Protein backbone atom coordinates (compact mmCIF):
# COMPACT_ATOMS: atom_id res chain seq x y z
CA UNK A 1 0.00 0.00 0.00
CA UNK A 2 2.81 2.40 0.92
CA UNK A 3 4.48 1.69 -2.42
CA UNK A 4 1.33 2.73 -4.28
CA UNK A 5 1.10 5.95 -2.25
CA UNK A 6 4.73 6.76 -3.04
CA UNK A 7 4.26 6.03 -6.76
CA UNK A 8 1.12 8.18 -6.85
CA UNK A 9 2.96 11.07 -5.19
CA UNK A 10 5.84 10.76 -7.66
CA UNK A 11 3.42 10.72 -10.60
CA UNK A 12 1.61 13.81 -9.29
CA UNK A 13 4.92 15.63 -8.85
CA UNK A 14 5.96 14.74 -12.40
CA UNK A 15 2.69 16.07 -13.83
CA UNK A 16 3.07 19.35 -11.92
CA UNK A 17 6.68 19.69 -13.17
CA UNK A 18 5.61 19.11 -16.77
CA UNK A 19 2.81 21.64 -16.42
CA UNK A 20 5.19 24.27 -15.09
CA UNK A 21 7.62 23.63 -17.97
CA UNK A 22 4.79 24.02 -20.50
CA UNK A 23 3.80 27.32 -18.89
CA UNK A 24 7.35 28.62 -19.20
CA UNK A 25 8.24 27.32 -22.62
CA UNK A 26 9.38 29.40 -25.56
CA UNK A 27 7.60 27.59 -28.39
CA UNK A 28 9.79 26.68 -31.30
CA UNK A 29 11.98 29.76 -31.43
CA UNK A 30 15.46 29.06 -32.81
CA UNK A 31 17.92 31.95 -32.85
CA UNK A 32 21.32 32.07 -34.55
CA UNK A 33 23.39 35.25 -34.49
CA UNK A 34 26.49 35.97 -36.53
CA UNK A 35 28.68 39.00 -36.92
CA UNK A 36 28.88 40.22 -40.52
CA UNK A 37 32.55 40.81 -41.24
CA UNK A 38 32.04 42.79 -44.46
CA UNK A 39 29.90 45.46 -42.74
CA UNK A 40 28.77 46.75 -46.12
CA UNK A 41 25.84 48.80 -44.86
CA UNK A 42 27.55 50.19 -41.80
CA UNK A 43 30.79 51.05 -43.59
CA UNK A 44 28.98 52.83 -46.39
CA UNK A 45 26.97 54.87 -43.91
CA UNK A 46 29.90 55.76 -41.69
CA UNK A 47 31.98 56.85 -44.68
CA UNK A 48 29.47 59.48 -45.78
CA UNK A 49 28.64 62.00 -43.04
CA UNK A 50 29.04 65.18 -45.07
CA UNK A 51 26.35 67.85 -45.15
CA UNK A 52 23.80 66.71 -47.75
CA UNK A 53 20.83 68.76 -46.60
CA UNK A 54 19.62 69.53 -50.12
CA UNK A 55 20.56 66.22 -51.69
CA UNK A 56 17.57 64.04 -52.75
CA UNK A 57 17.29 60.36 -51.91
CA UNK A 58 19.00 58.47 -54.71
CA UNK A 59 19.96 54.95 -55.79
CA UNK A 60 23.36 53.86 -54.48
CA UNK A 61 25.66 53.38 -57.45
CA UNK A 62 24.27 51.00 -60.05
CA UNK A 63 22.75 48.60 -57.56
CA UNK A 64 18.97 48.88 -57.91
CA UNK A 65 18.43 46.81 -54.76
CA UNK A 66 19.57 49.67 -52.51
CA UNK A 67 19.04 53.39 -52.34
CA UNK A 68 20.56 56.18 -50.27
CA UNK A 69 18.53 58.12 -47.72
CA UNK A 70 19.50 60.93 -45.36
CA UNK A 71 19.30 60.48 -41.60
CA UNK A 72 19.25 63.63 -39.49
CA UNK A 73 20.50 63.87 -35.88
CA UNK A 74 16.96 64.08 -34.48
CA UNK A 75 16.47 60.43 -35.52
CA UNK A 76 18.90 59.45 -32.74
CA UNK A 77 16.22 60.26 -30.18
CA UNK A 78 13.21 58.36 -31.53
CA UNK A 79 12.27 54.76 -32.21
CA UNK A 80 11.57 51.50 -30.40
CA UNK A 81 15.19 51.02 -29.31
CA UNK A 82 15.88 54.36 -27.64
CA UNK A 83 17.66 53.93 -24.32
CA UNK A 84 16.07 55.80 -21.43
CA UNK A 85 17.71 55.71 -18.01
CA UNK A 86 19.37 57.97 -15.43
CA UNK A 87 21.93 59.09 -18.00
CA UNK A 88 19.78 59.35 -21.11
CA UNK A 89 16.50 61.27 -20.83
CA UNK A 90 13.57 61.25 -23.21
CA UNK A 91 13.90 63.93 -25.89
CA UNK A 92 10.98 65.77 -27.44
CA UNK A 93 11.63 63.90 -30.70
CA UNK A 94 11.05 60.61 -28.89
CA UNK A 95 7.50 61.39 -27.79
CA UNK A 96 5.01 59.12 -29.56
CA UNK A 97 2.06 60.65 -31.38
CA UNK A 98 -0.34 57.72 -30.93
CA UNK A 99 -0.79 57.84 -27.14
CA UNK A 100 -4.35 56.80 -26.30
CA UNK A 101 -6.49 56.45 -23.20
CA UNK A 102 -7.07 52.70 -23.31
CA UNK A 103 -10.48 52.69 -21.63
CA UNK A 104 -11.82 54.65 -24.60
CA UNK A 105 -10.72 51.91 -26.99
CA UNK A 106 -12.42 48.60 -26.07
CA UNK A 107 -10.84 46.96 -29.11
CA UNK A 108 -7.44 47.49 -27.47
CA UNK A 109 -8.37 46.07 -24.06
CA UNK A 110 -9.78 42.67 -24.89
CA UNK A 111 -8.55 39.94 -22.57
CA UNK A 112 -7.15 42.07 -19.75
CA UNK A 113 -8.17 44.68 -17.19
CA UNK A 114 -7.09 48.21 -16.34
CA UNK A 115 -6.23 49.19 -12.78
CA UNK A 116 -7.13 52.79 -13.67
CA UNK A 117 -9.41 53.92 -16.49
CA UNK A 118 -7.07 56.84 -17.20
CA UNK A 119 -4.14 54.61 -18.17
CA UNK A 120 -2.58 55.62 -21.48
CA UNK A 121 -0.29 53.77 -23.90
CA UNK A 122 0.86 53.86 -27.50
CA UNK A 123 -1.93 52.39 -29.64
CA UNK A 124 0.64 50.40 -31.60
CA UNK A 125 2.10 48.90 -28.43
CA UNK A 126 -1.37 48.22 -27.04
CA UNK A 127 -2.17 46.17 -30.15
CA UNK A 128 0.99 44.11 -29.67
CA UNK A 129 0.14 43.62 -26.00
CA UNK A 130 -3.37 42.45 -26.91
CA UNK A 131 -1.94 39.90 -29.33
CA UNK A 132 0.39 38.63 -26.63
CA UNK A 133 -2.41 38.38 -24.07
CA UNK A 134 -4.48 36.40 -26.57
CA UNK A 135 -1.62 33.94 -27.01
CA UNK A 136 -1.30 33.58 -23.24
CA UNK A 137 -5.02 32.90 -23.04
CA UNK A 138 -4.58 29.94 -25.37
CA UNK A 139 -2.23 28.55 -22.71
CA UNK A 140 -4.84 29.11 -20.01
CA UNK A 141 -3.18 32.23 -18.59
CA UNK A 142 -5.82 34.95 -18.58
CA UNK A 143 -5.72 37.19 -15.52
CA UNK A 144 -3.65 40.08 -16.86
CA UNK A 145 -4.10 43.72 -16.02
CA UNK A 146 -2.19 46.92 -16.76
CA UNK A 147 -1.40 49.02 -13.71
CA UNK A 148 0.55 51.80 -15.43
CA UNK A 149 1.46 52.93 -18.94
CA UNK A 150 2.45 56.28 -20.41
CA UNK A 151 3.02 59.17 -18.00
CA UNK A 152 3.59 62.77 -18.99
CA UNK A 153 6.28 64.79 -17.23
CA UNK A 154 3.78 66.31 -14.81
CA UNK A 155 2.57 62.91 -13.57
CA UNK A 156 6.13 61.60 -13.41
CA UNK A 157 7.20 64.59 -11.32
CA UNK A 158 4.30 63.98 -8.92
CA UNK A 159 5.24 60.32 -8.59
CA UNK A 160 8.89 61.19 -7.97
CA UNK A 161 7.92 63.65 -5.25
CA UNK A 162 5.62 61.10 -3.60
CA UNK A 163 7.87 58.03 -3.73
CA UNK A 164 11.38 59.52 -3.82
CA UNK A 165 14.49 58.42 -5.76
CA UNK A 166 14.46 54.88 -4.35
CA UNK A 167 11.22 54.02 -6.12
CA UNK A 168 10.83 56.51 -8.97
CA UNK A 169 12.81 58.46 -11.53
CA UNK A 170 12.69 62.20 -12.22
CA UNK A 171 10.45 63.48 -14.99
CA UNK A 172 11.96 62.78 -18.39
CA UNK A 173 14.20 59.97 -17.18
CA UNK A 174 11.55 57.25 -16.91
CA UNK A 175 10.63 54.84 -19.69
CA UNK A 176 7.01 55.55 -18.82
CA UNK A 177 7.52 58.98 -20.40
CA UNK A 178 7.96 57.22 -23.77
CA UNK A 179 4.73 55.29 -24.18
CA UNK A 180 6.63 52.07 -24.98
CA UNK A 181 6.64 50.68 -21.42
CA UNK A 182 3.93 49.33 -19.18
CA UNK A 183 3.55 47.79 -15.75
CA UNK A 184 1.71 44.48 -16.02
CA UNK A 185 -0.04 42.80 -13.13
CA UNK A 186 -2.15 39.78 -12.34
CA UNK A 187 -5.53 39.73 -10.63
CA UNK A 188 -4.45 36.50 -8.90
CA UNK A 189 -1.28 37.40 -6.99
CA UNK A 190 2.07 39.20 -7.19
CA UNK A 191 3.74 38.91 -10.61
CA UNK A 192 6.81 37.04 -9.37
CA UNK A 193 4.49 34.20 -8.29
CA UNK A 194 1.53 34.55 -10.67
CA UNK A 195 1.11 32.39 -13.79
CA UNK A 196 0.95 35.65 -15.77
CA UNK A 197 4.42 36.66 -14.56
CA UNK A 198 5.88 33.25 -15.36
CA UNK A 199 4.31 33.19 -18.80
CA UNK A 200 5.61 36.66 -19.66
CA UNK A 201 9.12 35.88 -18.44
CA UNK A 202 9.22 32.92 -20.80
CA UNK A 203 7.27 34.21 -23.79
CA UNK A 204 7.08 38.01 -23.95
CA UNK A 205 10.24 38.05 -26.05
CA UNK A 206 8.38 36.38 -28.92
CA UNK A 207 5.99 39.33 -29.12
CA UNK A 208 8.51 42.18 -29.07
CA UNK A 209 8.52 42.79 -25.30
CA UNK A 210 11.38 42.49 -22.80
CA UNK A 211 11.54 42.30 -19.03
CA UNK A 212 13.31 45.62 -18.66
CA UNK A 213 14.76 45.29 -15.14
CA UNK A 214 15.82 41.67 -14.45
CA UNK A 215 16.81 40.48 -11.00
CA UNK A 216 20.45 39.76 -11.90
CA UNK A 217 21.09 42.97 -13.90
CA UNK A 218 20.52 45.75 -11.36
CA UNK A 219 24.18 46.82 -11.54
CA UNK A 220 23.71 47.47 -15.25
CA UNK A 221 20.23 48.99 -15.35
CA UNK A 222 20.58 50.91 -12.09
CA UNK A 223 17.03 49.85 -11.22
CA UNK A 224 15.91 47.23 -8.73
CA UNK A 225 14.20 44.08 -9.97
CA UNK A 226 10.73 44.85 -11.34
CA UNK A 227 8.92 41.69 -12.50
CA UNK A 228 6.01 43.83 -13.69
CA UNK A 229 7.83 46.34 -15.92
CA UNK A 230 7.95 45.38 -19.61
CA UNK A 231 9.24 47.43 -22.52
CA UNK A 232 8.38 47.11 -26.19
CA UNK A 233 11.48 46.98 -28.44
CA UNK A 234 10.00 45.00 -31.34
CA UNK A 235 11.08 41.92 -33.22
CA UNK A 236 13.67 40.52 -33.78
CA UNK A 237 15.45 42.55 -31.10
CA UNK A 238 13.54 41.10 -28.16
CA UNK A 239 14.35 37.55 -29.29
CA UNK A 240 18.05 38.34 -29.71
CA UNK A 241 18.12 39.90 -26.25
CA UNK A 242 16.49 36.79 -24.80
CA UNK A 243 19.01 34.53 -26.54
CA UNK A 244 21.98 36.50 -25.23
CA UNK A 245 20.41 37.45 -21.87
CA UNK A 246 20.96 41.14 -22.65
CA UNK A 247 19.40 44.17 -21.06
CA UNK A 248 18.69 47.06 -23.44
CA UNK A 249 21.91 48.71 -22.26
CA UNK A 250 23.92 45.58 -23.09
CA UNK A 251 22.21 45.02 -26.42
CA UNK A 252 22.89 48.53 -27.70
CA UNK A 253 26.52 48.32 -26.56
CA UNK A 254 26.81 44.96 -28.33
CA UNK A 255 25.49 46.42 -31.60
CA UNK A 256 27.87 49.34 -31.32
CA UNK A 257 30.80 46.96 -30.91
CA UNK A 258 29.77 44.49 -33.62
CA UNK A 259 28.66 47.17 -36.10
CA UNK A 260 26.60 44.67 -38.10
CA UNK A 261 25.05 41.32 -37.23
CA UNK A 262 22.86 38.81 -38.99
CA UNK A 263 20.23 37.00 -36.95
CA UNK A 264 18.40 33.92 -38.23
CA UNK A 265 15.24 33.22 -36.25
CA UNK A 266 13.14 30.21 -37.18
CA UNK A 267 14.76 30.22 -40.61
CA UNK A 268 14.15 33.92 -41.30
CA UNK A 269 17.21 36.17 -41.62
CA UNK A 270 17.44 39.74 -40.33
CA UNK A 271 20.31 42.18 -40.96
CA UNK A 272 20.94 44.66 -38.15
CA UNK A 273 23.44 47.51 -38.31
CA UNK A 274 24.58 50.21 -35.92
CA UNK A 275 25.31 53.47 -37.72
CA UNK A 276 26.87 56.47 -35.94
CA UNK A 277 25.20 59.76 -36.78
CA UNK A 278 27.13 63.03 -36.71
CA UNK A 279 25.33 65.66 -38.68
CA UNK A 280 23.18 64.65 -41.61
CA UNK A 281 24.27 61.15 -42.56
CA UNK A 282 23.70 59.18 -45.77
CA UNK A 283 22.89 55.49 -45.35
CA UNK A 284 22.00 52.74 -47.79
CA UNK A 285 18.69 50.92 -47.36
CA UNK A 286 17.19 48.11 -49.46
CA UNK A 287 14.54 48.65 -52.10
CA UNK A 288 13.40 45.03 -52.10
CA UNK A 289 13.04 44.43 -48.34
CA UNK A 290 11.24 46.19 -45.50
CA UNK A 291 13.40 48.05 -43.03
CA UNK A 292 13.12 50.15 -39.89
CA UNK A 293 15.37 52.80 -38.38
CA UNK A 294 15.49 53.51 -34.64
CA UNK A 295 17.74 55.80 -32.71
CA UNK A 296 19.58 54.57 -29.64
CA UNK A 297 19.19 57.91 -27.79
CA UNK A 298 22.98 58.16 -27.51
CA UNK A 299 24.99 58.55 -30.69
CA UNK A 300 23.49 56.76 -33.64
CA UNK A 301 20.74 54.68 -35.20
CA UNK A 302 19.97 50.99 -35.63
CA UNK A 303 18.98 49.84 -39.12
CA UNK A 304 16.93 46.64 -39.11
CA UNK A 305 16.35 44.96 -42.47
CA UNK A 306 13.59 42.35 -42.42
CA UNK A 307 13.39 39.07 -44.35
CA UNK A 308 11.85 39.12 -47.81
Reported as half-sphere exposure (CB side, CA atoms, 13 A), residue 157 has a value of: 4
**Residues, the chain:** 308
In b/e form, how buried is each residue of 247-269, taking b as 16+ CB within 10 angstroms?
A: bbbebbbbbeebbbbebebeeee
Q: CB burial class (10 A; 0-12, 13-18, 19+) of residue 137?
A: middle
Is there a catalytic annotation at residue 196? Answer: no
List, as own/partner pairs, every contact residues 50-55 make where C-beta atoms lie below 8 angstroms and the sequence separation is at least 24, other chains included.
Answer: 50/279, 50/282, 51/279, 51/280, 52/280, 52/282, 53/280, 55/282
Beta bridge partners of 59: 67
Dist. CA 70–CA 55, nearest whole Å: 8
CA 167 to chain centre: 22
Dist. CA 21–CA 26, nearest whole Å: 10
> Which of 101, 226, 250, 292 is an active site residue?
226
Contact (Cβ atoms closer than 8 angstroms) between residue 130 and residue 110 = yes
Dist. CA 69–CA 280, nearest whole Å: 10
Residue in 268, 267, 269, 307 with CA at minimum distance from that of residue 291: 307
CA angle 271, 305, 286 (to 5 degrees): 115
For the annotated catalytic residues, the residue numbers are: 226
Amino acid sequence: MKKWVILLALLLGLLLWIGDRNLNRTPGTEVQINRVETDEIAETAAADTKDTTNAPDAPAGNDSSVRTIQVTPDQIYKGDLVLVNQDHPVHAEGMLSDIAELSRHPELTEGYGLLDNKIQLSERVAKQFSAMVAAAGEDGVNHFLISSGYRDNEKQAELYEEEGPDYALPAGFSEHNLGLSLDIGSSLEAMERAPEGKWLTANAWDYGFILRYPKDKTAITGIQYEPWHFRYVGLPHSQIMKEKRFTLEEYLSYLREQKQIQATIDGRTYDISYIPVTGETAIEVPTDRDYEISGNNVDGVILTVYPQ
